[in-house]
């Protein structure tokens, strides 16, 4: 019987490896392959970047209102956007105002406006009663995006009011047709009365339009005191009534004071 000679079994091919790996046969032949990790040139790890700080509002630099604002219809108020720190660059900064009408439960968002990362001044014109706030926002480039808001306190806008009709009480007596009589040399105390209006923040300013008289004390209260002269004649007192939130402010009225030498002046219409 002839001897059967088998061809040699070829060695198992070395596995595909990364360039930084050098394959070394563990045993010649087909006994397997041992892979030895060898660091290649130029593959040493360089300095790694520091991880970014988390996105945050800078200390003491959140969104805020300006203290001199007047929160009334028709006024323009000023706020400041927030300043942030940290986050994955690039970071987008923006702001918008939010309003809620009187009697509504829903906040209405105004359009966003991009801004810079600073305490920037921004403005809003008040056109209706209700509530108002300013929202500042930063959005970074993380995946998913990290978003951080800074919101001002809520401001209430009252409904507009009116100043009522003006009349006068002179020495405690209603002055009919805004006329009153008094003796020469007397002191007159006059109250300015408004009826039918809704304003609660009224201010007053008294003026002597003509005649011999001087004010005694303040001219900016609801009540004024006037010392008339010693000569008969006519004194006209004017009261100006103002209100910051009234649609018909200011209002004015004049009290005619007949100054006489005897009690016959009790009928001022005769003068």
Q: Which residue ranges form the domains of the chain, and what is each CATH number?
A: 56-157 (2.60.40), 165-270 (2.60.40.10)
Phi, psi of 178 (to 5 degrees): 55, 40
CB atoms within 10 A of CB 84: 22
Task: Note the pTM of the prediction, 2 decimals.
Answer: 0.66
Q: What share of the chain in percent tops pLDDT 70? A: 81
Q: How far is CA 33 from CA 15, 19, 22, 24, in A?
A: 8, 17, 11, 6
Structure tokens at 233: 């004649």
Residue 169 pLDDT grade (very low, low, confident, very high; cuts 50, 70, 90): very high
Structure tokens at 32: 């397997």
Residue with tokens 């209002």: 251
Instruction: Write out pLDDT tens, residues 44-100.
Output: 667 777 888 999 999 999 999 999 999 999 999 999 999 999 999 999 999 999 999
Residue 90, SS3 per DSSP: coil
Task: Output the CA torsion sign for 227, 229, 234, 235.
Answer: negative
């Amino acid at each position: 019987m002839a001897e059967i000679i088998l061809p040699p079994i070829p060695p198992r091919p070395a596995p595909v490896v990364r360039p930084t790996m050098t394959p070394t046969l563990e045993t010649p032949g087909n006994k397997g392959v041992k892979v030895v990790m060898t660091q290649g040139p130029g593959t040493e790890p360089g300095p790694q970047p520091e991880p970014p700080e988390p996105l945050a509002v800078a200390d003491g630099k959140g969104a805020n209102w300006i203290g001199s604002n007047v929160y009334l219809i028709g006024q323009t108020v000023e706020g400041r956007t927030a300043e942030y720190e940290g986050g994955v660059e690039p970071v987008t900064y923006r702001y918008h105002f939010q309003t809620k009408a009187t009697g509504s439960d829903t906040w209405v968002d105004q359009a966003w406006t991009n801004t810079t990362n600073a305490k920037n001044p921004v403005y809003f014109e008040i056109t209706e009663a209700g509530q108002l706030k300013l929202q500042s926002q930063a959005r970074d480039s993380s995946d998913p995006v990290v978003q951080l808001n800074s919101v001002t306190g809520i401001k209430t806008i009252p409904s507009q009011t009116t100043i009522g009709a003006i009349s006068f009480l002179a020495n405690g007596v209603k002055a009919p047709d805004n006329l009153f009589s008094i003796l020469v040399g007397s002191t007159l105390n006059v109250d300015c009365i408004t009826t039918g209006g809704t304003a609660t923040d009224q201010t007053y300013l008294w003026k002597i339009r003509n005649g011999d008289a001087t004010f005694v004390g303040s001219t900016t209260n609801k009540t004024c005191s006037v010392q008339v002269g010693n000569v008969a004649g006519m004194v006209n007192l004017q009261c100006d009534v103002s209100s910051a939130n009234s649609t018909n402010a200011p209002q004015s009225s004049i009290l005619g004071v007949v100054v006489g030498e005897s009690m016959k002046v009790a009928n001022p219409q005769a003068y």
